[in-house]
Amino acid sequence: MFPGMGGRGINPKQLQKQMRAMGIDVNDIDDVKQVIIRTATKEIVFNDAQVTVMDARGMKSYQVVGTPEERPIQQAPIGAQEPAAPRGPVEIPDEDIALVATQAKVPRDVAKKALEESGGDLAEAIMKLAGGQ
In the DSSP assignment, the letter for residue 103 is H
25: domain CATH number is 2.20.70.30
Instruction: Return per-residue pLDDT of the chain as tens, 133 residues.
Output: 555 554 567 787 887 788 778 888 888 999 999 999 998 899 999 999 999 998 888 888 999 999 999 998 865 555 655 555 555 566 888 888 888 888 889 999 998 998 888 888 888 888 888 875 5
Which strand (E) or helix (H) includes residue 128?
Answer: helix 122-129
> pTM here?
0.43
Q: For residues 115 and 119, what is the distance between their CA atoms, to the nearest angstrom?
A: 6
Overall domain count for the chain: 2
Whether residue 17 is found in the same domain as residue 63: yes
124: domain CATH number is 1.10.8
Whether residue 17 is found in the same domain as residue 61: yes
The three-class DSSP label of residue 111 is helix
Q: For residues 72 and 40, what is the distance between their CA atoms, to the nearest angstrom?
A: 9
78 part of a folded domain: no
2 part of a folded domain: no
Whether residue 26 is found in the same domain as residue 66: yes
Q: Is the dihedral of CA 107, 86, 81, 33 positive or negative?
A: positive
Structural domain including 110 reads: 94-129
